[in-house]
Structure 1
Amino acid sequence: MGYRKQKGHLCDGEPVFYLTDTSAATDNNPDGLVFLGRAQMFRFPYDLSPRDLVPEDIKAAGLDMASAVFGIVAQNGSSDAKAVKSRVFFENAVADSGGPEWFERIMVPKTLSSPKPSCFQQYLTQDGTKSNEDLTTYLKGDYTTIRGHKLYWHRWNDSQSIDAVKEQKDHDGLLNDLLSPNPKDTQHTIMTPIKSGVTFKGRIRFEGLADIELGALLWALNLPEGCAHRLGMGKSLGLGSIRIDSKLRLVDRSARYGSWQESGITEAKEIDFMRAFEKAILEHARKTEGTVEESEKGLFGITRLQSLFCLLDWAGKPDSSKTDYMELKCFKSRPVLPTPHAVMEKDDPPGEKDLPRPAAREDDSTNTVSNKPSVVKTQPSPLQAKPVEKGQTRKGKLKRTDGCWVAIFEGDSRAAVIVNPSSIPAECADDCKAEFYITEQSKRTGIKVRFEKLM
């Protein structure tokens, strides 16, 4: 009987499944063999990696402020390896008082899995108007981008017990196993959470920061009122929500070392540096494609940060039932991750929703050549146009009716009410093509949309 001489090798007579593509046929590969595997539903690699889907302008941006302040480590083996020294140094934070009462009892939390790049419905930008069968993936023909930064909601409330994060099935047996010299379980871990209400004090030292960089550091520490940070293990279970308060002290080295009597330390107003940072970021956002709402105050005017503050809002966090840790069965239908404002049942700020992506150009240097069978996706005819639904971004036309602007969509005879008509440029005429966001749609109330931009 045959056997595998080495891991990954086939033995004589072992069946395999394969995939062919006539476009891949060559003299050396007349059948166009593309992939083979041992299982009928074998895995094959995507055309693109997550890094390939990072927008080119971000990859080409060079050293950003975070890297310049906190430093970067050179990547081994890289031809352009470089390292930047950090100018910020963190000391240990020490608890104010007490002893063992700082901690909850040791426990086994619910299984915490690692991120799975194949969960493309959550990690990649989706069209917002497509069905689950048409979700964009890492294939070359599915032109899309990485969706953004991954964050967890605050989801703890004072009425729940710490037992809510424990593994419910045979907890004590799992704990004994994991504490043994040779544990059998490989899917769980152990942890000792810190009790709610414990306070710590520490120092963050810095050197050589420009006013804007110091303002950025202070903004990162001092979140808007009602917001809180997330730290440590168990964030997906609701642990790790903390608030940080800071006091800024500056050291004048000339005064410090020029006199025995002078410490050179003075307290400074944090707000001055934070405003310098705000001003610089708002100016940058106005010059780039970032959307700025001038009616909002400070950094709240940047729509991306509105979504960030929505996620970090402790005081107004959504009901925990809306942000429960997803179990395996929840992924079966591949639900698209909603935006933070959608979870809060609010309208998304302009520019901060999942927009349809343009088709990839033939000469797009960011695309790689795919060896997989291509899938041709045709656009629906007007009679087959997808129905208008809340949460979509749709292209349509502007029409004047009784002196008011309305939106008309292909495949739907209803005129949609525009909730922000003052945003429509004065030079618009009938039949101007524009992009709209569907804020409401029902048989009773009709369609309501938000004007986004002219096409």
Structure 2
Amino acid sequence: MKPEIIEKKKLGQYAVAPYNFVSFPKKAVVKYKKIEELPAHNDFKGLSGYVEYTLKAETPIIVSTGVKDKQVHFFINTNGKYAIPGNTIRGIARTNCQILSFSNIIGEKDKEGNYENSEIENSRFLYRDIAGNNSLSARYKSILGVDVTRRIAKNVKAGYIVNRANKYYIEPAKELKVGVPYFRIDEIILRRIASNKNIDGINFMYKKDLLNCEVELKEIKREIAKNKDNKSKERELNSKLKSILKDLSNERIYKPYQTGISFEFDSKTGRIIDINRKGILSQNGYLLSGGFILGKLSHYIVPEADDKSGNIKILREDIEAYKDDLIRTKKMNNKEEIFKGKEFFALPKKNERKPVFYINTDRLHFGFTPYLRIYYTKTVLDGVSQLYKDTKDVSYTDGIFGFSKKLKRDDGEDKNFNYKSRVSFEDAEVVGEPVLDEDSVMTIILAEPKPTSYNLYLKQDKDADKKLLKIYEDDFKIRGFKQYWLKDYIEKPELEDAKAEEMKFTIHPLKEGTIFKGRIYFTNLDEEELGLLGWALKLNDGCYQNIGLAKPYGFGRVKVEKVKLYIEDLNKKYDYFSFDYFNEDDLDKYINIYKRNFSDKYLNGQDIENIDTIKEFMLIKSKVIKIKDANNYRYMELNEFRNKKALPEILKYEEAFLENNIKRSKKSGNVAKKDSYSKIDRNYKNSNTAIADAFRKAEENKNKKKRK
């Protein structure tokens, strides 16, 4: 299948994504109220047997066990066959069972209030949003106490973070001038007073020629300040400023740094007047600057620690949250090894100390630049309703698939219980000769918006202004189970970011039309459990499963076909010693038993298929997106993502974009009328020539960049 390049059109009032979320049910359902009620594995009163099925790939498919030399090839099992591993099928069936049976995926709360068995990580996210004009940036500026005029954050203090036996403390720095806990110094000033003093460790963001542009830059900044109310002029001036700085940029070689220095400052103004090597001038401290941002010129000085101030202990959970954030922001790997070039952001090693910035108001926040990333007060699982997450006992899914270290109250104390799975999954092997799809061999990137993207991952009013969007504070709700939209095309991603080379790899899929055959074995299930397992595999008529890598781009849409159920006849097996002891049965019969019983027992007779959770799930598993609608089912680009628009829910998704198109067509109708009138305008020819020239110049600039 030949990949398609998506024509990206301007978005309307909503966000778009190749995925959406199936909402959690209002309340989780329990199948077994006591551990003792679970069927014993040596008791064969229930149903045992297997389900045989085939999977037909409707789009190219790639299932792999890993990356080698940035190449991803299809999995080959121990039989030497191309196959979808049994564990992959198991994972899909288990997730589907959880959704279809309202199973609690959070687990139980322990004595410390933690959810150790939760399938959703109970993260406490950190964030920074200084430039936005939304609900998050408003909160960020409030916590930092940002004074835009003075370009300072009033609540931010400076000090040193120290590691004592893997416990972390902050030693506050001396406040040499009241209200000035640290000093800011412009790179132009720093170049002028420090360039010829052989101070080790200073990294400059711009070339030395920056000094020659001092007068011009000052004039532009003055003009920007004058034109705060003229946004068009302000944008023009900022663009001019950045253009000058871009030509002087040291971005390719610059690295964030911290280095010991001595300095002098003007006690009246608080300005730095001299810098030298450590111990030469009257005050000692650290000079530092964080990551490169075009337009940024600030370096900072943290005075030495104040021996008279008490230390501030950093809670272990805050250290763990900071480490998680380093991993999330691609500065550290899961083994807690800092990536090369990101050492500036690492926590100090044992007995080491580093300059740090912190806020210690309602809670402690810390980071290595003044505009630090700060903690949300809530964690992810605060966004899950109590009726769903605080459900003890055993769900349908745990009863079928088993569990380990499940926390249960027994004789007045919490104990861990284990239960072995009653199902097993064979590899689904390719039928016939596998055919590699050369057309869809492509390079993709493992990157997408993460749960920190609150406009996508939290429930929002679809028409909410970005200033009113829910964040991980107050009364928020997470969206639910992430699922990918199905597509009848393969999208070719546009990869231009050279910085993400380490995240790119090339996939080698099998062709659409490939058929796989597999089996699911089950032991001692009751009729409801067998029905749930069968429904999780087959879903409803017209539904598909999606399997493997690159699902956002349309890979891995499969049709479940030729499903056959075989149940053991124990009389034949043991009384007649027959080797042919399986009877074929009707799986749909058990699926209907499950649906009917579930509706009667847990929904007061309401049909389970009329519950929003199930309607959402079946819609996203049956709706196949056509190429003409691709614009609404793609990843957003960075400039689109910055707009912080809400992602409509599954059941309202199509309707939202229909409304969007109607509004857009009305607007374009008005534009068309204006254009028809403009043709008789005397300046029509000149105005269109100006537009044509603008496009021509833009194209020339683009081509120049390509040649470079």
TM-score (norm. length: structure 2): 0.40
Q: Which residue number corresponds to residue 119 of structure 1? A: 453
Q: Which residue among 338, 363, 375 is the counterpart of 2:648?
A: 338
Seen in structure 2, the aligned counterparts of structure 1 residues 282 and 75 have a Cα distance that, compared at 3 Å, is: closer
Q: Which residue number corresponds to residue 194 of structure 1? A: 510
**1:11-410 matches, cutoff 5 A:** 16-21=356-361, 24=362, 34-62=364-392, 63-74=394-405, 80-99=415-434, 101-104=435-438, 107-113=441-447, 116-128=450-462, 130-139=464-473, 142-157=474-489, 164-165=491-492, 168-169=495-496, 185-245=501-561, 246-261=563-578, 263-284=580-601, 286-287=603-604, 292=606, 299-315=608-624, 319-345=629-655
Measure, in 2, the Cα distance between the counterparts of 1:6 and 1:305.
44
Give the deviation of 1:169 after TM superposition.
4.9
Deviation digits for residues 130-180 of structure 1 (CA, Å, limit 9, x no counterpart): 3211222222xx2122211111101233xxxx5x4356559xxx9xxxxxx
Give the deviation of 1:7 after TM superposition.
4.3
CA RMSD between the two structures: 3.7
Give the deviation of 1:116 after TM superposition.
1.8
Residue 338 of structure 1 aligns to a residue whose secondary structure is: coil
Measure, in 1, the Cα distance between the counterparts of 2:449 and 2:494.
20
Asked whether the 8 Å contact 2:357–2:366 carries over to 1, the reply is yes
Seen in structure 2, the aligned counterparts of structure 1 residues 322 and 197 have a Cα distance that, compared at 3 Å, is: same
- Structure 1 counterpart of 2:367, one-letter code: G
Seen in structure 2, the aligned counterparts of structure 1 residues 5 and 219 have a Cα distance that, compared at 3 Å, is: closer
Residue 344 of structure 1 aligns to a residue whose secondary structure is: helix
Identity percentage of aligned residues: 26
Asked whether the 8 Å contact 1:109–1:189 carries over to 2, the reply is yes
TM-score (norm. length: structure 1): 0.60
Measure, in 2, the Cα distance between the counterparts of 1:319 and 1:75.
45
Residue 189 of structure 1 aligns to a residue whose secondary structure is: strand
Measure, in 2, the Cα distance between the counterparts of 1:54 and 1:117.
14
Seen in structure 2, the aligned counterparts of structure 1 residues 335 and 262 have a Cα distance that, compared at 3 Å, is: same
Give the deviation of 1:204 after TM superposition.
0.6
- Structure 1 counterpart of 2:517, one-letter code: K
**2:342 matched to 1:8?**
no
Give the deviation of 1:191 after TM superposition.
2.3
Asked whether the 8 Å contact 1:103–1:192 carries over to 2, the reply is yes
Structure with the higher fraction of residues in helix conformation: 2
Seen in structure 2, the aligned counterparts of structure 1 residues 252 and 346 have a Cα distance that, compared at 3 Å, is: farther
Asked whether the 8 Å contact 2:444–2:507 carries over to 1, the reply is no
Asked whether the 8 Å contact 1:154–1:238 carries over to 2, the reply is yes
- Structure 2 counterpart of 1:259, one-letter code: Y
Q: Which range moves more in the overlay, 87-96 or 186-195?
A: 186-195
Measure, in 2, the Cα distance between the counterparts of 1:73 and 1:190.
37
Residue 208 of structure 1 aligns to a residue whose secondary structure is: strand
Residue 283 of structure 1 aligns to a residue whose secondary structure is: helix
Give the deviation of 1:262 after TM superposition.
5.5
Residue 648 of structure 2 aligns to a residue whose secondary structure is: coil
Seen in structure 2, the aligned counterparts of structure 1 residues 104 and 58 have a Cα distance that, compared at 3 Å, is: farther
Measure, in 2, the Cα distance between the counterparts of 1:46 and 1:151.
26
Give the deviation of 1:89 after TM superposition.
0.5
Q: Of the two, which has the highest radius of gyration?
A: 2
Q: Which residue number corresponds to residue 162 of structure 2? A: none
Asked whether the 8 Å contact 1:120–1:136 carries over to 2, the reply is yes
Q: Which range moves more in the overlay, 274-283 or 313-322?
A: 313-322
Asked whether the 8 Å contact 1:226–1:315 carries over to 2, the reply is no
Measure, in 2, the Cα distance between the counterparts of 1:5 and 1:41.
15
Deviation digits for residues 403-442 of structure 1 (CA, Å, limit 9, x no counterpart): xxxxxxxxxxxxxxxxxxxxxxxxxxxxxxxxxxxxxxx9
Asked whether the 8 Å contact 2:463–2:646 carries over to 1, the reply is no
Asked whether the 8 Å contact 2:437–2:510 carries over to 1, the reply is yes
Deviation digits for residues 273-329 of structure 1 (CA, Å, limit 9, x no counterpart): 1111111222245349xxx5xxxxx64322221111111114576822210123333
Asked whether the 8 Å contact 2:355–2:368 carries over to 1, the reply is yes
Give the deviation of 1:110 after TM superposition.
2.6
Asked whether the 8 Å contact 1:107–1:166 carries over to 2, the reply is no
Deviation digits for residues 177-226 of structure 1 (CA, Å, limit 9, x no counterpart): xxxxxxx9322133222210100111110011110010001111112222
Give the deviation of 1:248 after TM superposition.
0.7
Structure with the higher fraction of residues in strand conformation: 2
Residue 533 of structure 2 aligns to a residue whose secondary structure is: helix
Measure, in 2, the Cα distance between the counterparts of 1:215 and 1:12.
60
Measure, in 1, the Cα distance between the counterparts of 2:446 and 2:345.
33
Give the deviation of 1:125 after TM superposition.
1.8
Residue 110 of structure 1 aligns to a residue whose secondary structure is: strand
Measure, in 2, the Cα distance between the counterparts of 1:236 and 1:5.
34
Seen in structure 2, the aligned counterparts of structure 1 residues 167 and 108 have a Cα distance that, compared at 3 Å, is: farther
Residue 505 of structure 2 aligns to a residue whose secondary structure is: coil
Measure, in 1, the Cα distance between the counterparts of 2:396 and 2:359.
47
Residue 479 of structure 2 aligns to a residue whose secondary structure is: coil
Measure, in 1, the Cα distance between the counterparts of 2:369 and 2:581.
70
Measure, in 2, the Cα distance between the counterparts of 1:105 and 1:98.
18
Measure, in 1, the Cα distance between the counterparts of 2:637 and 2:524.
47
- Structure 1 counterpart of 2:373, one-letter code: R
Deviation digits for residues 308-357 of structure 1 (CA, Å, limit 9, x no counterpart): 1111114576822210123333320112111112222279xxxxxxxxxx
Q: Which residue number corresponds to residue 359 of structure 1? A: none
- Structure 2 counterpart of 1:93, one-letter code: A
Residue 213 of structure 1 aligns to a residue whose secondary structure is: helix
Asked whether the 8 Å contact 2:405–2:417 carries over to 1, the reply is yes
Measure, in 2, the Cα distance between the counterparts of 1:145 and 1:136.
8
Measure, in 2, the Cα distance between the counterparts of 1:205 and 1:114.
36
Seen in structure 2, the aligned counterparts of structure 1 residues 269 and 236 have a Cα distance that, compared at 3 Å, is: same
Measure, in 2, the Cα distance between the counterparts of 1:338 and 1:61.
29
Q: Which range moves more in the overlay, 227-236 or 322-331?
A: 322-331
Give the deviation of 1:266 after TM superposition.
0.6
Seen in structure 2, the aligned counterparts of structure 1 residues 114 and 209 have a Cα distance that, compared at 3 Å, is: farther
Seen in structure 2, the aligned counterparts of structure 1 residues 14 and 304 have a Cα distance that, compared at 3 Å, is: closer
Asked whether the 8 Å contact 1:156–1:320 carries over to 2, the reply is no
- Structure 1 counterpart of 2:401, one-letter code: F
Seen in structure 2, the aligned counterparts of structure 1 residues 7 and 311 have a Cα distance that, compared at 3 Å, is: closer
Seen in structure 2, the aligned counterparts of structure 1 residues 40 and 156 have a Cα distance that, compared at 3 Å, is: farther
